[in-house]
Amino acid sequence: MKKIFCWVFGLIGLITVLSCEDSFTMDKEKSFTPVMYAAKEPEVLGEEATTLLIKGVGDLVFDEIEKTDWKIITRYHVKFRGEKPLELEDDDDRDGSVTYTVKEALSTIPTNYEDDILLTFDKTKVTYTYLGSEIELVPDGGLKLMVDIEEKKREEEPLFLQTGNIVFRLCVGYLPVKIHKLPFAVYSSDEKIDEWIKEQEEQAKQNGSNK
């Protein structure tokens, strides 16, 4: 009889705890509903953050989820013709880095050349299933794109040549969740190349006549 009484008492207690927990989670203020996500700082600063913190009001952390399928979609390679290094047009500080607010539509990044850099995004929506409902979360600190130029090689003479990468960092707040590199090259125009060839031919003729 005592065993049956203890079992019934324990069952009632468990039901009471579960009911209180459900009421606690779904109170009128909805204080514990997940509303946003933040990137969790990776072990090595500067690398891609692969873990997201699911947060409610007051920075309460509900859960952690893995997300690695962010996409920055660009061309395979871009080329520019000219005699000056590539610069990002909106770079007021001229430190090689520009920050943009992310839009899922096709975006353009202006440069100091006529050709703009085209890109778009995919897999940027973050959802979380809570109490049977799928909730779309907003990024804590915003979803931003940082762009900078990574120069690998530059030659001024006899013709201009610059190669490197345009580096895109998709960031939640200030932490990158996706890093994408777009190779680029800047080299002299056809007119400049033709002028240089003619100069070389004339110089060769002069050297030949002096022998």
Mean pLDDT of the chain: 81
From start to end of 84-201, where are the E strands?
A: 97-101, 107-109, 117-122, 126-130, 133-139, 143-155, 161-172, 175-187
Tokens matching residue 134: 């799928």
pLDDT of residue 153 exceeding 90, the answer is yes
Eight-class DSSP state of 40 = P
Our separate counts of H helices and E strands in the chain read: 2, 13
Phi-psi region of 188 (alpha: psi -120 to 50; beta: other; left: phi over 0): beta
When comparing pLDDT for 84 and 3, which is higher? 84
Please spell the DSSP secondary structure of 181-205, one letter per residue: EEEEEEE--HHHHHHHHHHHHHHHH
Rounded-to-integer distance, Cα 38 and Cα 67, Å: 11
Which pLDDT does position 75 carry in this prediction?
94
Which pLDDT does position 51 carry in this prediction?
97
- The candidate with the shortest Cα–Cα distance to 165, out of 46, 48, 74, 60, is 74
Query: What pTM value is reported for the model?
Result: 0.78
The SS3 assignment for 83 reads: coil
pLDDT of residue 71 exceeding 90, the answer is yes
- Across 14-23, 42-51, 85-94, 146-155, least confident range: 14-23
pLDDT band per the 50, 70, 90 thresholds, residue 100? confident
Rounded-to-integer distance, Cα 52 and Cα 54, Å: 6
pLDDT band per the 50, 70, 90 thresholds, residue 203? confident
Q: Tokens 């005592």 identify what position?
A: 2
Top mean-pLDDT range of 23-27, 42-46, 51-55: 51-55
pLDDT band per the 50, 70, 90 thresholds, residue 96? low
Is the distance from CB of 146 to CB of 169 less than 8 angstroms?
A: yes
Which pLDDT does position 209 carry in this prediction?
64
Distances (CA, A) of 101 to 111, 129, 139: 17, 27, 12
Rounded-to-integer distance, Cα 185 and Cα 149, Å: 11
pLDDT of residue 140 exceeding 90, the answer is yes
Tokens matching residue 116: 């703009």
pLDDT of residue 206 exceeding 80, the answer is no
Rounded-to-integer distance, Cα 181 and Cα 67, Å: 20
Which pLDDT does position 211 carry in this prediction?
59
